Structure 1
């Protein structure tokens, strides 16, 4: 079972999605278009968020949809600036019928859901690790270049040594932030039952992940930039690994739990001002 998170829609917030789930005699009929559905070409199932249309009005709901269901269309049309191997194309649902139990109401329509912070924290951390990995790979590539026979003259200069030291600081900051967030998650999530955590603690855990993600993003981008400076102009070439890493790591800004700056800023500030759980 390979599950693709097919939630995002162009210009839509998670609590105002256009994808609908309507009751039918056989369960639910789902219609909609999802974007940025990473690993969709390899997926066997699609976890999606939908607008559940019930007798009492619309609700936010989640759905697990198998690839084998008639009406599921995967469009392998990802053409991003970076992360070209992630398969983050579109998934279309055209009158896809799923059993009644495949769609689960999550909360009222049109407002952020407070429960589920712990789940979002748990699935955010692996994404953050991707960008730390890119930064570490850039560091390794740069050090290999400057310690090779042809690069030893450059690394003997004070300027090059300064770049190496700054690169180490960025990597250390990113590692420290992520490891701290993971330790906090391990402490509270490892033995917890799903959806059993109180809202305050869940929000605190998600704040840890969001802040760690921002530190990894900023430090990682700076680390790749420093690595490119160490390697010199050849790293700016389209075929150079560092050129690809620079494009890939920029995707971190769009892979947060809330990508728009005004939303993550508000969340972190308000969670901090309200105090930890």
Structure 2
């Protein structure tokens, strides 16, 4: 029996999932499980894993050799955690890794990232961290590997860094991409998060992110539109009821007015009869 995917959410309709072998699992999704720390002994038996998601698990650190036994791993997602440093020794012998997602952590430096350990790495997402500069290895790969894609938006880049200056002096276009007032989220060939190429290009492509303020108003607007559409039937009922009430009030007022005119006419007729009788008597 071969199991291709397993998440931390148990599905009672699949009782067989309780009896699988760890070596049968190809995809393991532990997102949101709040495991805080990943140790080598806890995942070493999943030797045939190809995809591992540890997103939003509040992970603060990775010990040496954490993923050393996952030599077939192709995609690793460590986004939305609390990592402050990148421990290169955690990623030993990961020669098959193609996609690494480190977005929305607290990373301040990637100085311990040695790309020679990831010869097949094609997608690196480091957006939403506290990075001020990139190591020389990453800069070299950006400029020389046309198949490499880097997501790097929403980082407080320090464009006066000595590490960066020599690259920026030789490549003005690269400087614009990191130091432009407009926030960019993408450097490299445009791909989706699964690593599939969307658009082929020999030149570097950049994609603008919406930014917090702009996204905030889009979100608020979307919420209000959802509220209005969700209550459209109620609004129609309220408007219909309001029209009905106005119609009833109008009908009542018209009816009352007609009754008054009718009484006035009767009084005028009565007065006319009295005047005629008086005249006949005189």
Q: Same fold (TM over 0.5)?
A: no
Query: TM-score, normalised to structure 2's length?
Result: 0.23
Query: Which one has a larger percent helix, Structure 1 or Structure 2?
Result: 1
Higher strand share: 1
Which one scores higher on RCO, CA 8 angstroms, separation ≥ 6?
1
